[in-house]
Structure 1
C-alpha cells in the first residue's frame, strides 16, 4: 500500500508538476550529468550546473508565487463525443501577492477525454482581482468517466514546473454518443394490440374506438352514458371504448466484438458507429407516436422503453453511453427477451455488426412473428454471409461502412 502511494505521488510529480519544457530540461540534466561526470573540465559539467541552477530557481519561485485562488464554475455532467464543450471559470486571487501565468487544467483523465490548450494562461492576476479563463474539453468516445476537478496552477517563472494546490476529488462525466438525423424512408409501423396498453402512453393518446355498450356499473363516468341504449333496454347503459392499439418498435443493437480485436483509444469504430446510428433512429422515432423498446446486450442485457413520452430521449442517450462491447455472443440473451415481446411489437429494426447464422436466425424470428423488419449491417469488410441471398425474405439489408455513419445523411431504404 505504501509503495503504491509513493508511485502515485511520483507519477503526479511527473505528469502534473512537470511541464513539457521541464521534462526536456530534466532530460538535458541527465545527459549533461552523465557527460560531465567524466571530468570536471568538460563544458558539459558547466551546462549541468546552469540547468540545475535554473531548475532550483524555478522551484523556489513556484513556491513563493504559488496561486492561492478561488474558482467559480463547474464541469458539465454530460458531453457529446466528438463535440467540443467550452466552459468559463472565474479565478479570484485571494493572496496578498500577485499571481503570474495562471492557468486551469484537468489531470489524470482517461485518454478518451482531452483538454484543448491546457496551458492557455492569464499573465497576471493582482491581489483581490479576478479573471475569467476558458476551458475546453473534447471527448473521443462515449462512456462514463471519472474526471478530476479543475485545478488552478501557475508555471511562473520559466514554464518548467507547475505550482498549485492538488485536488483528489473527482466527478462522473457521461459522454453521450454523437448522432446525425437519419431518413427512415418508407418504414411501416402498424398498430398492434397492447394488453394494458393505456399504461404505455402518457400525454399523447389515441382516438378511442367504440366497441359496444354494456349495463351501467357504479363508478362509471356519466359522460359515457348511452341514452339510446338506455331508452331501448329500459336500463342504464354506457358506451365502451378501447385504447389499446399502439405502434411499438423494437430497436436491437448488436454489441458482439470478437475477442481477437484490440480496443483503441477511440473504441471499436464499427460498434461506435452502430451506437450512433441507433441513437439517430431512436431520435427520429421519439418525436413521433411510437413506443420504442431498445435491446442492447453488453456485459449485461439492457432493455429500455422510450417514446410517447414514457421516457425522454436524453435517457436513451445515457443508456447508449453506458453500453459496452461483449466478447461472447449476446444473442442468447437478446433472442428470448425479444421473443417474449414479439407478439406485441409492430416493427423490429436491427443494427448489426455482421451477417452470420446467429444474426440471421434472430432476424428470421422477428419475420416469422409477423413483424415488419428493417436490418442494417455496419462493417468495414464484407459480411460473413452474403446478404443478397436473404433479402428476399428479410427485405433490403444495406451494408454501411463506419465512416458513412459518422458523416451522417443516412437514408434507410
Structure 2
C-alpha cells in the first residue's frame, strides 16, 4: 500500500470516531460528504478520558483542581488537607487497582439481526487468565450505538483466578440501523471506582442489523396482470428447498444427468430419470420511494426517528416482502434513493433476511430519483410484469413514474403514505396513514 493510501486510510479511521463513543455526524453516509475533524478529535479525547476515568472521577477532577489552586495560593488554609486526602486515595486506587487489574478472555455471542423495538440478549463467557481474582467486572460498559440501549448489563461481582464464568446482558433496539458493535471488553473499578481497568479484544467487532418493525399482512392482492411473468421453482431454488417427486421415466438426450435414478437404472438395465412437479413462482417488483425534501434549518432532524413517513414506508416494505416470501412470488426489491438497490430472492427464509439487511441501511434521498431511473431498470421491471410501488407522496414526477410503468406493460399497485388526505388519487391507488402503519393497524391490502 502506498504512503498516500495509508494516510487516507488512517484519516478515514480517525474521522469515523471511536467505536465506544459513536456520533451520528461522524458516520459514513452517501448523503453526508463532510465530516468534521474537530468533532472527531473531541470524540476521541472524550472517549480516551472516559476509558481511563470513571464518571465519578470526571466529576471530581474540576473540584480537585479548584481546591489545589486555592491551596497553592493560601498556604495556611486548611483546604490543603483535602488535597493530601485526594492524593492518598488516588495512590491507593492506583496501586490496588493495578495489582488486581483484569486480564481475561471474552467470548461474546449475540444475534446478527434483530427487530426494531425488540429486546434481545447478549451472552458473555469470561475466563480469568491470572491467578489473582478480579472484582467488580462489567462487560461492555459503554453504550453500543445510539440505536441500542442496555437495560440490564452483564456483571461479574467476583471472578476467581483461572476460572470461567458466564453472564447475560439485556439490550433493547430502539430503531432500525446498521450498528457497529465495538470489540468485547470488561472493566473493573476496584477498589474505589475512580480508575477504570479494562481488558478484552478490541478488534473483534460485530455488525448488528436492526431491521424495521412491521406487522405481518394477512392478505394482499398481488398486481398480476396479463403480462405478469412466472418462472419455474427450479430457477429460484435455494438450499433446503425441494420439489415433489411424481415418478420416473426413460432417459432422453438433454436430460440433467443429476436426475438419473441410479438404483432404478440398475434394476431396469436402462437409464431412468426422476420427474418432479415444479411449482410456479410469479415475479413481482417491490419499489420503495425514499425521497424526502431537505428540511428547513429551523426544523432539522438528523435521526431516522425524525422521519415517520419514511419509517412507515420501510415498515410496509418489510411487511410486503415477508408476505410475498410466504406466497407464490419471487420478490425483486428496488429501494430508490441516492443508489438503486436491486435484490432478487427465492422462496426461503434467508432471502427475507437479506431483504431486512437492505432495509436497515436505507437513508432518505434528498433528490427525486424515481424520474431518473436508467432505461435498464425499466427493462427489468417490464420483465417482471407486476410491481408494488410505495410512495411518500403524490406529485408530477411520481405520477410520471407510474405512467412509465404502465407503458412498459407492468401491472402496478400503488400505496401512498401521507399524513394528510390526498385528493384526486388515480384509480388503483391507495392512501395509507403512516401512523396507522407504524401502529400495526394495516394488516390487509
TM-score band by shorter chain is: 0.7 to 0.9
Q: Which has the larger radius of gyration?
A: 1
**Correspondent of 1:39 among 58, 70, 74:** 74
Question: Could you say which residue in structure 1 is the equivalent of 2:89?
Answer: 54
Equivalent residues of 1:73, 1:89 under 8 A apart: yes
Question: Could you say which residue in structure 1 is the equivalent of 2:26?
Answer: none
Question: Could you say which residue in structure 2 is the equivalent of 1:345?
Answer: 384
State the distance in 2 between where 1:106 and 1:244 align.
52
Number of equivalences: 376
Q: Displacement of 1:219 after TM fit?
A: 2.5
Pair 1:172–1:164, CA change in 2 (3 A): closer
Question: Could you say which residue in structure 1 is the equivalent of 2:430?
Answer: 397
Pair 1:106–1:299, CA change in 2 (3 A): farther
Pair 1:135–1:333, CA change in 2 (3 A): farther
In structure 1, stretches of 5+ residues that fail to align are: 207-217, 222-242
Question: Could you say which residue in structure 2 is the equivalent of 1:93?
Answer: 128
Note the 1:119-268 alignment, pairs <5 A.
Answer: 121-165=155-199, 167-177=201-211, 178-187=213-222, 189-190=224-225, 192=227, 194=229, 200-202=235-237, 219=253, 247-260=282-295, 261-264=300-303, 266=305, 268=307
Q: Displacement of 1:371 after TM fit?
A: 4.2
State the distance in 2 between where 1:374 and 1:125 align.
60
In structure 2, stretches of 5+ residues that fail to align are: 1-6, 19-40, 245-251, 256-277
State the distance in 2 between where 1:55 and 1:154 align.
15
State the distance in 1 between where 2:127 and 2:279 align.
60
Q: Displacement of 1:265 after TM fit?
A: 6.6
Pair 1:292–1:169, CA change in 2 (3 A): same
Deviations 1:236-295 (A, max 9, x none): xxxxxxx89753222111112323354227463332222121011110111110122211
Pair 1:339–1:205, CA change in 2 (3 A): farther
Q: Displacement of 1:362 after TM fit?
A: 1.7
Q: Secondary structure at the match of 1:27?
A: helix
Pair 1:172–1:295, CA change in 2 (3 A): same
Question: Could you say which residue in structure 2 is the equivalent of 1:27?
Answer: 62
Note the 1:302-341 alignment, pairs <5 A.
Answer: 302-309=341-348, 312-334=351-373, 336-341=375-380
State the distance in 1 between where 2:52 and 2:404 align.
59
Q: Secondary structure at the match of 2:215?
A: coil
Question: Could you say which residue in structure 1 is the equivalent of 2:440?
Answer: 408
State the distance in 1 between where 2:314 and 2:402 align.
19
Pair 1:146–1:400, CA change in 2 (3 A): same
